[in-house]
Amino acid sequence: MDGRGSLYSKSLALASTEETRNAKVIRRSSNYHPSVWGDYFIVSTTDMKPDPEVEKRIEMLKEDISQALQSIYNNYADNNNINGSDDDDLYTNALRFRLLRQQGYSVSSDVFKKYVDDNGEFKATLANDARALLCLFESSNLRKEGEDILEQFQRFSTRQLKSMLPHLNSSFIEKVNCTLELPLHKRMPRLEARQYISIYEANAARNDLLLEIAKLDFNSLQKLHRTELCDLSRL
């Protein structure tokens, strides 16, 4: 190719490049639906900011609970695994054991030996208390390696609770089935909180301080989630 042809080719190439630069770029677009949230989380976050007084109250209540657990543990240790007036109360002992072990306290499963007779059989008085059996089942799922008594109690409580299902009220049946499927300590507390708050609030024997901290903590978490969504929506 002579010089003129080469020059002509270069001119065509330059013209093509210029046209490409000036051409309107047309991009395909998908038919995306607008966000279901709209601009809800982009508005002012004044109502989402942590309330210092609420946070202070939550911390104070947490400290009260920690002190209560420590007191229970001290009593547990000082009295050889609780030899008090409620010594034979399976529900109380099972609940105390679960709460302490769940919070990392070193407690012995020997507290449950009193519920087995000399022949190694479970005492007949245990067979009809569904609430205590359910708490016993929860406790047995916190067993450590070598704690045979808790393994035996898990099988016993499971068998007894299943046999009692036809005779329980509907709300408790649901609770039993749910617990047998997945013990409380293996669930996600934050997902359980909202439902349990309503259940506990209807309990006449509730502890109002526990109910208060549950509500405050849940609402505080919701504010945090809303603030995070607001930040993500602004990206």
Determine the pLDDT at residue 82: 46
Quick count: other Cβ atoms within 10 Å of Cβ 115?
A: 19
SS3 89: coil
* pTM score, whole prediction: 0.70
Determine the pLDDT at residue 83: 45
Determine the pLDDT at residue 8: 53
CA distance 96 to 90: 10
Give me the residues of the chain with pLDDT under 70, please.
1-48, 77-88, 233-235
Determine the pLDDT at residue 89: 86
CATH-assigned architecture of domain 52-185: Alpha/alpha barrel (1.50)
Close Cβ partners of 157 (under 8 Å, ≥ 6 residues apart):
133, 134, 136, 137, 140
